[in-house]
């Protein structure tokens, strides 16, 4: 029973982290000290995509799903593969998807960082 409650909670936390990685630089307009938190999270998120690391939140969700009785292959559960790519209509394993996401994260957040630093 608690696994059915914890799985969506972990998924929401994971979604929040991904959203923060993508758009967290914009929050620096309001809270400039947040840049350092965001920079470390964004670097980690980009490294996960480039190197192919498994996110610990994905591991937690996979473990919870196995405890609930679902058949989940350890190390193959991925947040984007399960929740995002089916909505967009791609597999997510294409190299251009990774390149596009990394470029979007870097460009979008660089512009936000530059605006905050020049505003100060």
pLDDT for 109 equals 84
pLDDT tens by residue, 64-107: 888 988 887 766 667 777 677 667 676 666 677 778 888 888 88
Question: Closest by alpha carbon to 62, among 107, 100, 112, 6?
Answer: 6
The answer to whether the Cα torsion of 95, 101, 104, 107 is positive or negative is: negative
pLDDT tens by residue, 51-63: 878 888 888 888 8
Q: Could you give the CA distance from residue 63 to residue 61 in angstroms, rounded to a whole number? A: 5
Residue 13's pLDDT band (boundaries 50, 70, 90)?
Answer: very high
Residue with tokens 């923060």: 20
Residue with tokens 């480039």: 50
Residue with tokens 């909505």: 87
Quick one: tokens of 54? 């498994």
């Amino acid at each position: 029973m608690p696994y059915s409650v914890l799985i969506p909670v972990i998924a929401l936390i994971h979604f929040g982290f991904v959203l923060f990685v993508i758009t967290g630089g914009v929050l620096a307009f309001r809270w400039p000290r947040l840049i350092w938190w965001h920079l470390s999270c964004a670097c980690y998120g980009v490294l996960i995509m480039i190197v192919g690391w498994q996110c610990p939140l994905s591991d937690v969700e996979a473990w919870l799903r196995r405890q609930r009785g679902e058949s989940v292959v350890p190390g193959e559960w991925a947040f984007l593969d399960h929740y995002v790519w089916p909505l967009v209509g791609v597999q997510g394993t294409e190299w251009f998807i990774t390149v596009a996401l990394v470029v979007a994260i870097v460009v979008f957040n660089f512009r936000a960082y530059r605006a905050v630093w020049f505003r100060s």
